Amino acid sequence: MVNQVQRVDGNWQSGKSDSSGASNSGGESSKESSRCSTPVLDADRSDRLRDKMLRRMESGDRWFSLEFFPPRTASGAVNLISRFDRMGSGGPLFIDITWHPAGDPGSDKETSSMMIASTAVNYCGLETILHLTCCNQTKEKITGYLAKAKHLGLKNIMALRGDPVGADWEEEEGGFNYATDLVKHIRSEFDDYFDICVAGYPTGHPEAESYEEDLRHLKEKVDAGADFIITQLFFRAETFLKFVRDCRKIGIMCPILPGIFPIQGYQSLRQLVKLSKLEVPEEITRVIEPIKDNDAAIRNYGIEQAVEMCRLLLESGEVPGLHFYTLNREVATIEVLRQLGMWIEDPRRPLPWAMSAHPKRKVEDVRPIFWASRPKSYIYRTQDWDDFPNGRWGNSSSPAFGELNDYYLFYLKSKSSKDALLKMWGEELTSEDSVFEVFTCYITAQPNHSGHKVMCLPWNDEPLAPETNLLKDELEKVNRRGVLTINSQPNINGKPSSDPLVGWGPAGGYVFQKAYLEFFTSSENVNALLKVLKKYEPRVNYHIVNVQGHNLTNAPEMQPNAVTWGIFPGREIVQPTVVDPVSFMYWKDEAFALWIEQWAKLYEDESPSRMIIKYIHDNYFLVNLVDNDFPLENCLWQVIDDMFELLDMPPELVTDGAVSE
Amino acid sequence: MVNQVQRVDGNWQSGKSDSSGASNSGGESSKESSRCSTPVLDADRSDRLRDKMLRRMESGDRWFSLEFFPPRTASGAVNLISRFDRMGSGGPLFIDITWHPAGDPGSDKETSSMMIASTAVNYCGLETILHLTCCNQTKEKITGYLAKAKHLGLKNIMALRGDPVGADWEEEEGGFNYATDLVKHIRSEFDDYFDICVAGYPTGHPEAESYEEDLRHLKEKVDAGADFIITQLFFRAETFLKFVRDCRKIGIMCPILPGIFPIQGYQSLRQLVKLSKLEVPEEITRVIEPIKDNDAAIRNYGIEQAVEMCRLLLESGEVPGLHFYTLNREVATIEVLRQLGMWIEDPRRPLPWAMSAHPKRKVEDVRPIFWASRPKSYIYRTQDWDDFPNGRWGNSSSPAFGELNDYYLFYLKSKSSKDALLKMWGEELTSEDSVFEVFTCYITAQPNHSGHKVMCLPWNDEPLAPETNLLKDELEKVNRRGVLTINSQPNINGKPSSDPLVGWGPAGGYVFQKAYLEFFTSSENVNALLKVLKKYEPRVNYHIVNVQGHNLTNAPEMQPNAVTWGIFPGREIVQPTVVDPVSFMYWKDEAFALWIEQWAKLYEDESPSRMIIKYIHDNYFLVNLVDNDFPLENCLWQVIDDMFELLDMPPELVTDGAVSE
């Protein structure tokens, strides 16, 4: 029976070629699929990098990739990771992180090559190659680095020799003398686990005896087990194309990716040329020497020159993808890619939240909604899980969340300085109303009374999401009165999955949401709210909890409630976000702690400002509400209105059990 | 952390009492939940019988249960099982099957008590109690029966002594002399696995020394581990109520269910009274003696008398549920329950398909759509699975299906005789058109050319489902032209879960469907269809297979496609039916085999009629189509129309690749 099914599958494969329309997956044309950086639920998500490349090459979809180096400072790391998020949205097939032997590259330091690459994979969801140099290293040390990389979820290594330290370097018997040795070592110690990339030199390695000798070395690296080649930078398309022809001639058949270096400044060019012992062609020096003091002009020329060269490369048909040396900058690379039409302006989201690229998490497709604005914190707190929920959250899929004591990890830190935060959130708070104002200004994007825009809150590191903007007016109104919202989504009754604001997932689908609202509010408000909520049974589900964990809910049997789901051609239902009663208890610890850790601690001990935040932390409740009737108009605003109405009523009109009509 | 969540749960429990509206599950009022025989996804599904009783008693929802005896003949078994399906739809909390020592009750015979009870649990999805008598049995024999019952998914035993065989019966040292011995034995050998019921005698057991002596015996049975009591029949409410009072006085605190016997005929009453050594009260004999030859009058009186007595019982507040001795008949019991308002006229379906009550299957909530009309066959062919899909079908949830060689198992047999089938499906077929006519008549419910209504087809043992009736006109049209439909569903874009035609699941939800159509058709039609389907990419997914397993599909990566799903308050998404490419291969074996086994074999070997069916079996394709665009009008009829249009076109207008426009 199983054989028959296999055979059937084979038939289907052969059927593909005579019916082009029938062969694509998820109803995406092959053109479209190339524009989706991480197509959800498709083979792409679980494939290894070399297979992704193969699939792209078969379909003729060109890709790009981005190289970064590790930052020197912790704040540099925070900024680089934001850059990963921004540049990741343009749809690179992968990024790579260089190995800085001088920067303790394999350590746990937040600036190490290892940690930056790990963050890119785990927290930014980017397919990532970690560079590794072997020169002057023991096998044990290298094996240790590789084991650590594997443990962190890294699956790709760029195997390099690296520069010998000191002038007295000599080949070692049985040591790592060439990148080939490293490739062999990886394959012998880790079998086929890693995809391995090696460097190619279109004009020959500066230390090689000859161009031909260098090509033979490259062939050795590939024969030793490398999967693909990224080249050193070059300045003429023909340099690369000749190199590819020469490689093919001697039997190097793997993908060869051209390293593109958009000239971004006179000094950086000179420095790079010196390091890499390259010659800048006369047609380039002739242009830039006269404008060497005009940074903008050089940058523009660099973009123009890179675009032109890339066009030639792509037109040759020999180039499956372009690799960019970004120098950790955004503008030039993005501009080149834009001009080439390869930058995804409006990326289709595979899921409503950013997926992690850790192999352990490849099946993960359900998360609690609570961490919607803090996905990195969610990934961090669940990093030790062995299984990730897939298809359904379930009652049992809630193993312990990580402790909070590490939540101030560098990549969860606010990007703003203490000074900037004080300007946004108030140098001095005088009452709870001052806090209400901060929330209201964040929602409205209006300056606060001292003239500063509130760009973030402890629970939201970014300005309001476009989707949340749909609810802006209502949010403003309730925040003004002390319903301090930290998370919300509108209801959606079947919008196309391609909707620019709320769409996600493969083409041809429909997405749905139940309206959700989460806020802090006073116990007085909660008392009124509970009375009001009786009128909304069973339409509205609620969870109401204070910092001590006193919890009120009407969730049936503590089951999760799916609040975002999508229906797609030829697939099972996807329900990426749930309101889960159990994990809400873990989230509330984090949500309450942020008052103290991120806000109260800005002020002096015992200062009135600090006491106000502390009072809110100790006395307010965290509330979440779900309107289950997603096809109808969202009733949650009416719930809050009813609560205010009840609060505004003279006490003699309020009975204990319910509102008198 | 976990402790905190537990504590929270405790708080929630305590919070329930002061907010009645907040305590119900799934948004059903407690009144409603009592009317849902097997509320989907609720504790009810996994609870054991005694816990279901407890929950009903707490909520004040009264239940009923039904007693049947095993049939004597195989065709009697087929009829009884149909009766289970019909009476099961009225919402009994459980049924029970008596133990007939003379009928080889523990055997695998289709008429045995064991197999009938197993069928009720596994195939009809009914909570079932198997009676077991111990008199004259060895412990090994009894343990064997219990182990077999457990293996078959039975969870409840009615422990009885049974009638001694022969006059020379004597108490055995260490043997089974009383039901108490059996209760003790069950508890000692199977711990708490079974729920145990014992019999109570409101007027005392006929062999007991006294009423009081008999009560003491009953107390012993309960003390030995019985969970509840069902009483012998009685004729006056007060008889039962006094019995309950007397039980409570001596400390029998478990549920006591009155055995209700609606008098259905003069002879059956006399016989029963003789067997049970009961006295019929004078007020009853006075009424029925004069009408003893008028069956209808006696039946009507029996209903009236039972209703009156049940009312008194229910009003007493001492009766949590009513147990009916049905004598394997439907009318009287249903009528009594209807008059009491306890029969569910329009049962809410927990899922679109009938669930099995086998404990192994309690989490099962996804099935392939193919067996929609043959759920018992699906259950049979998957009975050896260790896990059942829950939440998502997945690619890996398709272990081997059972072989087909047993599919003629008695409960899968047609209820119609060979003669009746020949009348419906044609004494003599003259061409494929004769077959088209049979299908068309089945759809239209019109008589065939020899004047017989076609009430079933090999793939559909019942007349067209009400839901399918929605598609009747279109179905008729296509069947006439040789698109021989065997399964279909309309698209549904969010109808309330309470919809009488297509609703299922808990209250307050919305149900959805993608349009589905499955049919046999000729290879000529399939060729045209494949051309047409290119126009419907990616909207329509298809699987097309012939008996040899040659398969054509555009399913992305052979993934399942969810075609029925529901969204409910406070829950994750439920997606009970999928079109799964892998199990379709198993279904096609069954679907093709039915041509031969159920139809061709009606005719003589080598007869033209048989050859026609054989030709279809050998040459037709089985096709299924899904319209993924569920919010739009179903396009599948247009697909078929386009296919006919293409077939009707003069050949010179048809290009090979596509239809010329």
* DSSP strand pairing (B540-546 vs B551-553): antiparallel
Question: pLDDT tens, A555-564?
Answer: 887 889 999 9
Contact assignment for B1 to A558 by CB distance below 8 Å: no
H or E segment to which residue B570 belongs? none
| pLDDT band, residue B452 (cuts 50/70/90) | very high
Burial class from Cβ neighbours inside 10 Å (0-12, 13-18, 19+) for residue A150 reads middle
Specify the pLDDT at position A15: 30
Residues in Cβ contact with A163 at an 8 Å cutoff, skipping those fewer than 6 apart: A133, A135
Contact assignment for A27 to B582 by CB distance below 8 Å: no
A354 vs A298, more confident: A298
Q: How many angstroms separate the CA atoms of A475 and B505, rounded?
A: 34
- Residue A402 forms contact with B (CB below 8 Å): no
Give the SS3 label for residue B185.
helix
Q: What is the mean pLDDT of residues A83-98?
A: 93
Q: Say how many CA atoms lie within 13 Å of A596 toward its Cβ.
A: 13
Cα–Cα distances (Å) from A634 to A511, B262, B566, in that order, read 16, 53, 19
Q: How many angstroms separate the CA atoms of A546 and A523, rounded?
A: 9
Say whether pLDDT at A18 is over 60: no
Min distance A195 CA to chain B CA atoms (Å): 24
- For B49-164+173-340, CATH gives 3.20.20.220
Min distance B381 CA to chain A CA atoms (Å): 14
- Out of A531-540, B189-198, B262-271, B344-353, pick the least confident: B344-353
| pLDDT band, residue B5 (cuts 50/70/90) | very low
- Residue A587 forms contact with B (CB below 8 Å): no
Would you state the structure tokens that stand for residue B400, as one six-digit string? 């081997």
Interface probe with A: pick from B3, B5, B44, B550, most Cβ of A within 10 Å: B5
- For B547, other C-beta atoms within 10 Å of its C-beta total 19
Q: Say what the ipTM of the complex is.
A: 0.81
Would you state the structure tokens that stand for residue B617, as one six-digit string? 């079996």
Min distance B546 CA to chain A CA atoms (Å): 11
- Out of A194-208, A618-632, B264-278, pick the least confident: B264-278
Would you state the structure tokens that stand for residue B298, as one six-digit string? 């006696």
- Chain B residue with minimal CA distance to A368? B572
Q: What is the mean pLDDT of residues B239-262?
A: 96
Q: How many angstroms separate the CA atoms of B526 and A628, rounded?
A: 44
Measure the N-to-C terminal CA separation of chain B; round to a whole number of Å. 67
Q: How many angstroms separate the CA atoms of A384 and A396, rounded?
A: 16
- Out of A171-175, A575-579, B41-45, pick the least confident: B41-45
Contact assignment for A545 to B8 by CB distance below 8 Å: yes
Residues in Cβ contact with A660 at an 8 Å cutoff, skipping those fewer than 6 apart: A653, A654
- Residue A630 forms contact with B (CB below 8 Å): yes
Mean residue pLDDT across chain A: 86
The share of chain B scoring above pLDDT 90, in percent, equals 63
Cα–Cα distances (Å) from B333 to A22, B34, B328, in that order, read 56, 19, 10
Say whether pLDDT at B338 is over 90: yes
Q: How many angstroms separate the CA atoms of A304 and B464, rounded?
A: 69
Report CA Rg, chain A.
28
Question: pLDDT tens, A42-75?
Answer: 445 668 999 999 999 998 999 999 999 999 988 8
Give the SS3 label for residue A489.
strand
| List of chain B residues whose C-beta atoms are within 8 Å of the C-beta of residue A530 | 19
Q: How many angstroms separate the CA atoms of B656 and A484, rounded?
A: 65
Q: How many angstroms separate the CA atoms of B259 and B642, rounded?
A: 62
Specify the pLDDT at position A347: 67
Would you state the structure tokens that stand for residue B124, as one six-digit string? 């009809």
Q: What is the mean pLDDT of residues B99-127?
A: 91
* DSSP strand pairing (A551-553 vs B94-97): unpaired
Q: How many angstroms separate the CA atoms of B408 and B427, rounded?
A: 22
Q: How many angstroms separate the CA atoms of A78 and B269, rounded?
A: 87
Would you state the structure tokens that stand for residue A42, as one six-digit string? 């498709």
Q: How many angstroms separate the CA atoms of B314 and B240, rounded?
A: 12
A228 φ/ψ angles, rounded to the nearest 5 degrees: -160, 170
Domain ranges in chain B with CATH number 3.20.20.220: 49-164+173-340
- Residue B18 forms contact with A (CB below 8 Å): no
Would you state the structure tokens that stand for residue A28, as one six-digit string? 């995406």
List the one residue out of A590, A588, A582, A581 whose CA is nearest residue A404. A590
Specify the pLDDT at position A101: 84
Q: How many angstroms separate the CA atoms of A175 and B521, rounded?
A: 70
Q: What is the mean pLDDT of residues B131-155?
A: 94
Contact assignment for B556 to A8 by CB distance below 8 Å: no
Residue type for position A346: D
Specify the pLDDT at position B1: 27
Which of A28, A67, A110, A364 is labelled catalytic? A67
| List of chain B residues whose C-beta atoms are within 8 Å of the C-beta of residue A390 | 392
| pLDDT band, residue A39 (cuts 50/70/90) | very low
- Residue B530 forms contact with A (CB below 8 Å): yes
| List of chain A residues whose C-beta atoms are within 8 Å of the C-beta of residue B630 | 510, 567
Question: pLDDT tens, A139-166?
Answer: 999 999 999 999 999 999 999 998 766 5
- Chain B residue with minimal CA distance to A658? B19
A and B: number of Cβ contacts within 8 A? 211
Mean residue pLDDT across chain B: 86
Q: Is pTM, for the whole model, over 0.90?
A: no
List the one residue out of A229, A232, A235, A242 whose CA is nearest residue A205. A232
| pLDDT band, residue A410 (cuts 50/70/90) | low
Question: pLDDT tens, B518-560?
Answer: 999 999 999 999 999 999 998 999 999 999 998 899 988 788 9
- Out of A241-245, A255-259, A348-352, B243-247, pick the least confident: A348-352
Whether residue A518 lies in the annotated active site: no
- Chain A residue with minimal CA distance to B403? A1
Q: Which of A390-404, A516-530, B61-75 ranks highest by mean pLDDT?
A: A516-530
Closest CB to A585: pick one of B4, B392, B533: B4
- For B362, other C-beta atoms within 10 Å of its C-beta total 16
List the one residue out of A202, A324, A326 whose CA is nearest residue A264. A326
Give the SS3 label for residue B135.
coil
Query: B563, A568 in Cβ contact below 8 A?
Result: no
Measure the N-to-C terminal CA separation of chain A; round to a whole number of Å. 68
Q: How many angstroms separate the CA atoms of A324 and A95, rounded?
A: 9
Specify the pLDDT at position B405: 67
List the one residue out of B437, B439, B434, B475 whose CA is nearest residue B458. B439
